[in-house]
Structure 1
Amino acid sequence: MTEIITLNNQVTMPALGLGVYQAAPEETVAAVAAALRTGYRLVDTAAAYGNEREVGRAVAESGLDRDEVFIETKIWISDYGYEETLHAFGKSAGKLGVERIDLLLLHQALPGDFDRTIEAYRALETLLADGRVRAIGVSNFMPDHLDALLAKAAVVPAVNQVEVHPYFAQPEVQRADAAREIVTQAWSPIGGITSYRDTGAGRTFDDPVITGIAAEHDRTPAQVMLRWHLQEGRSAIPKSVNPERIAANFDVFGFTLTDEELKALDALDTGVRRGPDPSDITLEAFGREIPEA
């Protein structure tokens, strides 16, 4: 059993899903299979992750009807532009082994070449109108990126996937999303990025506020953080390839955090970003070829 979010185009999406960022292709099939057996029905991947084919294989081999699994993927910046993005959809759909993708996102904004970003989003709008995707959105878009996009776009993004965890909550992005009825979806939702990219703020898993709340509920710190996201209306896509952790991360529907606990978690925000700064994304620094097959 999972909680459901209704997007701004009335498509429904599981609030909690499995992320496969940095999951090696040889690990991805088993991880997605374990997640689907556990009860996950949302899987998030991306063209740049190099594991779309393995996600599609795991879904196909699961025995579940295609409509039971919500598949989300992202177009990389190297494939931005109207015709280029239409072609990139075909690459992703082919690797996933599907005719229709449930949610298709632009992976980053290109601040220095925003016209190319606009053209890519126009392609997403075409795919949506043609029924080849069920919903469209963006990832790592800051409020100024959203403003620039919506000055030209016909369709408001359904989702904005950004770095959100207790140490970096991005309240201004969340407010900008909410004002436009865009769902904020958290990548690194349990602060896994804090474990390997230390900036002096430490690890979320060791934080005494989080561990204290976890002890009160007889839960893990990860479960507390995921519950925080869900109760505050966000989608979350924790990544793991360990079947036990995959199962534990899904076991977050049987308890409720108090208002005081939610406020205590909100107060942990350091304002320190751990991932790449969206304003620094350029083709020169981050461009890479996405293979045809």
Structure 2
Amino acid sequence: MDQLSMLINALPAEQKSYQHRPSTSLTCSFGIPSSAEEAGRPLTSLAAGCTGFEFVLGERGLPLVTAFAASDFPAQTERLAVGYCSYNPQYDQRDLRPLINALSQTEFPKLKLLYLGDYFLYVNGPGATGWLGDVTPILNHSPALQYLSLVGNFSLTTNLSLPELTELSVELDDYQSSLNRGPISDETLTYLLSSHFSKLEQVFLDLSIDANVDTDYSLPDIFLQGSRMPALRKLEITGQYKAGELDKLAASPLCQRDGFKLIFEDD
């Protein structure tokens, strides 16, 4: 029996399940019980046809993620989530950097949907953001990516090129828990917004953090020109920006496109 299968077999029954996700034929969820959703069912053995994987045990998902990275499954994975879940408050350690690093050399040729740091919430209450670290390698190894969600503090070390990406969501902090490790760097924001996303249509960019933290972001000129994101038609943006920055955004060539929808709120 391979390492991944042994680790899955050792998990309590309430910590593993198959969940129905519209984007995949079969999704293995670690940290979510089968009873969480109506279509969920028990996971007793790992099916060879799984194309979706959800590791939502927080830091304690590291052994599973490491074994997954060494398996044959990444080559067929179309949906991947690494984060947290409200079913596992005792597991909810929020430093995901080792998990993201464990995936940094893994190729994901078919990956379409990627959720990093998302909190799977099954109760009424606040979520919790954490620490992703450098996400550049995993994104550079996911050329077919269509949807990307980044929740929590993260960094980039270079511009990205994701030719199939159509939707991007960034949420830096949870308003109620304020557990984020601080603002992202100006360099990371510049790398992100200067990246070439030829099919990107929608961006949700929430850089709000604890109100006691003084942050004034700037938007790079190349983003305002819109040449790197020719298909972008909707931008929802929140956070603390330098004075006049959002006015400059509203008057930019990007936002003056016909039919462009801009929604913003300055903290």
TM-score normalized by structure 1? Answer: 0.29
Considering fraction of residues, name the structure with more strand.
2
Considering fraction of residues, name the structure with more helix.
1
